[in-house]
Structure 1
Amino acid sequence: MPISDFRKKKLLYVFNVFFDVNQSGTIEKKDFELAIEKICTLRGWTPNNPKYAETHETMIKIWDGLRQRADANKDGQVSVDEWCSMWDDYAQNPDRALEWQSRYMNFMFDLEDASNDGSIDVDEFTTVCSCYGLQATECKTAFNKMSKGKEVVSRDEFQELWKQFFSSEDASTPGNFIFGKTNF
């Protein structure tokens, strides 16, 4: 069965905004190098900061895992079709995420948890999501929907919301808002 229009819109949003950083129409290693720079600049981490090296190492592992799983034709790029196919496989059993998918989910949580207190609040969420071009007001609305009105979201809650984002067909599911967008 083909991916629904709703799920495809969500997948394309993440593809275009969070992964295809250079807007080439495919995901490649260069996108991850650009994302590393963007993330480290956001956090004020210079190349001599251990967090810069940690971010670089984690993002390259995410790229390697994504490429190995999704790059079906082995051309060094992940196309929209390859991306959607991979996430459709994930949606069949979201409790059995690939290692890179779990690593990316944890990376996003840690990036948003700037205070390192084990939870994400609206300001932390808004800072990260707005650096990807979203309006702060939309990010705050998305956080409120995602958190169901609570002040913070824990890692365990974020993990469940993540599963919902990539597998749910229900437009009202709180997980649909984890990337800061309020409608698809």
Structure 2
Amino acid sequence: MATDNPILERKLKAFFSLLDSDKNGVLKWNDILRPAERARQELGWTKEDTRFVKLVQELRAGWDRVLQVQDLDHNGSISYDEYVRFVFRMGLEWTANGALPAWAVELSNNFQRALDLNSDGTYTANEYAIYLRAIGSDADAKSAFAKLDLNKNGKLTYDEVLVLAKQYATSTDPSAPGNYLLTGKY
């Protein structure tokens, strides 16, 4: 399933392609775990480090929820078509109800807790840069973070990330900061 909007198609393909590290056209648990391993290595954590264990637990909980909501053929993986349908469903429900659907709030919380490496409730430019490198993005993290930091206080709050996530899922405006959220570039 392709989108009929080149802006949405561009950002959806970019993120899916970065996560699909073995380039087999589907996302599996190992594609989600691989960036966590890269971050662990960069941060010098052992596999037993409680911070890494927490990171993997949050990612696993999010992945399991993604499979429940998004794995339409129940094969344990997410195809690009399933991913596009998922993002559209989230955007449609968000727009129709004026709020992020409960299942998407749960996923967002898992994602945000995984990114928040020091568990302070915000994301710094450094945490965002680690995330981008971990997923294999070659984006300029400093420049991307400057676009994402809506209130220009040097940190992203959970509320800012929700605004940016809505832009990512629904905006067809090429200048929307949310376009940069998941890949660091648009």
Q: TM-score range by the shorter chain?
A: 0.7 to 0.9
TM-score of the aligned structures, taking structure 1 as reference length: 0.82
Share of identical aligned residues, percent? 23
Alignment-derived partner of residue 139 in structure 1: 141
Question: Which residue of the partner structure matches residue 86 of structure 2?
Answer: 86
Partners of 1:146 and 1:174 within 8 A in 2: yes
Whole-angstrom distance in 1 between the partners of 2:59 and 2:127 = 20
TM-superposed CA distance for 1:79, in Å, is: 0.8
User: Corresponding residue for 1:20?
Assistant: 20
Residues 126 and 180 in structure 1, CA contact (< 8 A), matched pair in contact too: no
- How many residues are paired up? 180
Instruction: Write out aligned runs for 1:1-16 (5 A).
Output: 2-16=3-17
Please name the residue that 1:123 is paired with: 126
Name structure 2 gaps, 5 residues minimum: none
Pick which of 103-112 and 42-51 moved more. 103-112
1:92-128 residue CA offsets vs partner (Å, 9 max, x unmatched): 02223353x4344334434444444333232332232
Query: What do you get for the CA RMSD once the two structures are aligned?
Result: 2.5
Residue correspondence of structure 1 range 161-172 to structure 2 within 5 A: 161-172=164-175
Letter in 2 for 1:29: W
Runs of 4+ in 1 over 6 A off after TM superposition: none
Structure 2 residue aligned with 1:66: 66
Question: Do the aligned partners of 2:59 and 2:114 also contact (CA within 8 Å) in 1?
Answer: no
Shift of 1:149: 7.1
Q: Which has the higher contact order (CA 8 A, sep 6+)?
A: 2
Q: Are residues 1:176 and 2:179 paired?
A: yes
Indicate conservation of the 8 Å contact 1:114/1:124, yes or no: yes
In the alignment, structure 1 segments of 5+ residues that lack a partner are none
- State the Cα deviation string for residues 115-168 of structure 1 (Å, max 9, x = none): 4433323233223213333346x2211111122471222221111111111111
Counterpart contact for 2:20–2:31, Cα < 8 Å: yes
Tell me the TM-score normalized by structure 2: 0.81
Deviation by residue 1:9-55 (Cα, 9 ceiling, x = unmatched): 211212121x3232221011232333332333333332222223222
The CA distance in 2 between the partners of 1:166 and 1:149, in whole Å, is 21
